[in-house]
Amino acid sequence: MDGSYWWDGAVIYQIYPRSLMDCNGDGVGDIAGIIDRLDYIRGLGVDAIWISPFFKSPMKDFGYDIADYRDVDPLFGTLDDFDALIREAHKRNLKVVIDQVLNHTSDQHQWFQHSRKDRDNDKADWYVWADAKADGGAPNNWLAIFGGSAWQWDASRQQYYLHNFLANQPDLNYHCAGLRRQILKEVEFWLRRGVDGFRLDAINFCYHDKLLSDNPAKPVSERRGRGFSPDNPYAAQYHIHDNDQPETLSFLQDLRALLDRYPGVMSMGEINTENSLKTIADYTASNKRLHMGYSFELLVDEFSAGHIRQTVEQQMKHLNGSAPCWAISNHDVVRVLSRWGGDNPDPRMAKMLTALLCSLPGTICSYQGEELGLTQADIPKNQLQDPFGIEFWPNFKGRDGCRTPMPWHAEKPAAGFSNGQPWLPIPEDHLALAVNRQDAEPESVLNAFKGLLKWRKQHDALLYGDIHFTDLPGDLCDDVLAFSRHYKNHTLYAGFNLSARAVSIAAPAGLSLCAVPGHAGAEIKGRQITLPPYGVFFGKTTQ
């Protein structure tokens, strides 16, 4: 990684379009709203935007159930609006990455409607169909992430179809050559419109075991992690037959061959498997498959310096010539400040987490609202929209709490997001974090975010350098993360206090601290650096 590609060391800002900005007053964000906020986004100092699905959809899973890969849902606008977004983003030197949901479609997609008619039509095998067992039961024990069996009975075909997510999201059958060819055509449609990259949703789910072998049971002690709560039956299996099959690698090579015909286009796969780090290595090997893998390793509840260090070290060890990609928040998990900071997180923690994330090697994904230090919203059950939360309430409240609209102006109706009733409520405590208020406060989380990203671009060691972690005494190894980033003949040292107490660690000989916007408070006395609660330091040595 040396800056040869636009995504080397880039910061990608994830937009959840329903919640960024509503320009037509229907309470739901739209493409016109994204265009309206491009100057704000560019002003953050990011390099690209990643837009969650905006395709035509019945919105059972808010756009991740696509009914037409080649059209914009009227809720968000038109294809002309999207073309305008590409032009306006490129004018501001912002790259545009879009979500592609290649594993499944909506059950309203014309392909599925055709496939379900009978067993002999030209799309009959474009989806995963299987006969019932002799007793009428589902073909095997596979489970859906959103609850219940992964198989849904279809009366018209007198067969079950596979759905790893909602029953409204039937899985495509990648064992079918015709389907694979068509999917590549759907991807190329957007390449021709000028997109700069793809975030590939649930890419490890494309293939399934053709024998439909049962998944083995997982011990109770291991039923946590990967973003699944222990009360979700999905966590009770090792998912080794219903996704992440060896045939995926061949398809990824075909996809990469297509992308390589459009120089400068990036692919980033969302990967969540039983061994995600190994899967990422396989899916990005030899520069012939994906450019990057997007994992869930830092999107979990566990928060310690040891966990972060182990995750980064293991990821760097497994890379096969690709760049790593990091995120600590997205549209599917509890906002990081609440997930790692608890019910009343310290705002200083928000600044520290941005600095930590943006100091890791590779590409960074920052979810809208992180720059404000937004916390997870508590949505009453009667206002929930997310089918995942509705199914598993109250132990799991779904994903709505991280998807609430952006608070732009504290004194305006709907916080300046819309002239109508927002599709999700905006928490009262988010008003104090609104953009207009933070813009006016020099020490705000927002201004620290902007200052850090601007400062980061001045240091090639942070953008492209190797990482070497510092061993710390046992009483500090869970609370403090320290490492150096080295590129060519430049070395930058960094340290992060993950705790609410002041800590001191040994300083490298000759270290002098760098002045970093929004991150004052670290002090050197002799050979000791003292970090305040959630403090950060960056430094260089004179030797």
Residues 6 and 196: beta-carbon distance below 8 Å: yes
Cβ-proximal residues to 508 (8 Å cutoff; 6+ apart), any chain: 493, 539, 541
Residue 113 in domain: no
Residues 223 and 236: beta-carbon distance below 8 Å: yes
- Identify which of 365, 373, 276, 372 has the alpha carbon closest to the alpha carbon of residue 327: 365
> What are 155-160's contacts with CB under 8 Å, separation 24+?
156/116, 156/117, 156/118, 157/116, 157/117, 157/118, 157/119, 157/129, 159/119, 159/129, 159/130, 159/131, 159/132, 160/129, 160/130, 160/131, 160/132
Residue 359 in domain: yes
Q: What's the CATH code of the domain at 430?
A: 3.20.20.80
Residue 295 in domain: yes
Which residue, 426, 453, 480, sits at the end of a domain? 453
Question: Are 241 and 281 found together in one domain?
Answer: yes
Question: Are 472 and 334 found together in one domain?
Answer: no
User: What is the CB neighbour count within 10 angstroms for residue 48?
Assistant: 23
* pLDDT in the model for residue 395: 84
* pLDDT in the model for residue 226: 64
Number of domains the chain contains: 2
Any alpha helices (H) in 67-176, and if so which ranges? 79-91, 110-115
Cβ-proximal residues to 39 (8 Å cutoff; 6+ apart), any chain: 92
Residue 118 in domain: no
Question: Are 338 and 222 found together in one domain?
Answer: yes
Q: 3-class SS at 75?
A: coil
Question: Are 497 and 403 found together in one domain?
Answer: no
Helix axis angle, 177-191 to 247-259, nearest 10°: 30
User: Which residues form the domain of 444?
Assistant: 11-106+177-453
- Tell me, rounded to whole angstroms, the distance of Cα 373 from its chain centroid: 17
Question: Are 347 and 484 found together in one domain?
Answer: no
Adjacent-strand bridge partners of 198: 98, 267
Phi-psi region of 242 (alpha: psi -120 to 50; beta: other; left: phi over 0): alpha
CA distance 293 to 283: 7
Which residue, 453, 477, 493, sits at the end of a domain? 453
* pLDDT in the model for residue 17: 98
Question: Are 359 and 471 found together in one domain?
Answer: no
CA distance 430 to 453: 23
Do strands 363-367 and 11-15 pair parallel, antiparallel, or not at all (unpaired)?
Answer: parallel
User: What is the CB neighbour count within 10 angstroms for residue 373?
Assistant: 27
* pLDDT in the model for residue 320: 73
B/e letters for 311-330, b = 16+ CB within 10 Å, e = fewer, are bbeebeebbeebbbbbbbbb
Which residue, 402, 430, 453, sits at the end of a domain? 453
Question: Are 472 and 441 found together in one domain?
Answer: no
Q: What's the CATH code of the domain at 511?
A: 2.60.40.1180
Question: Are 470 and 442 found together in one domain?
Answer: no
Question: Are 312 and 404 found together in one domain?
Answer: yes
Question: Are 303 and 237 found together in one domain?
Answer: yes
Helix-strand-coil percent breakdown of the chain, rounded to 5? Answer: 30, 20, 50
Residue 333 in domain: yes
What residues are annotated to the active site? 201, 270
CA distance 103 to 164: 9
Residue 208 in domain: yes
Question: Are 225 and 325 found together in one domain?
Answer: yes
* pLDDT in the model for residue 225: 61
C-alpha distances (whole Å) from 231 to each of 88, 141, 283, 397, 418 are 45, 17, 30, 12, 37
Cβ-proximal residues to 334 (8 Å cutoff; 6+ apart), any chain: 376, 401, 402
Main-chain dihedrals φ then ψ at residue 32, nearest 5 degrees: -60, -35
Global confidence as pTM: 0.96
CA distance 419 to 412: 9
Residue 227 token pair: 């973003």
Residue 63 in domain: yes
* DSSP string covering 248-263: HHHHHHHHHHHHTTST
Residues 435 and 409: beta-carbon distance below 8 Å: yes
CA distance 128 to 172: 6
Question: Are 293 and 401 found together in one domain?
Answer: yes
Residues in the chain where the model's pLDDT stays below 50: none
- Could you check whether the bond before residue 17 is cis, i.e. omega within 30 degrees of 0? no
Residue 125 in domain: no
Q: 3-class SS at 40?
A: helix
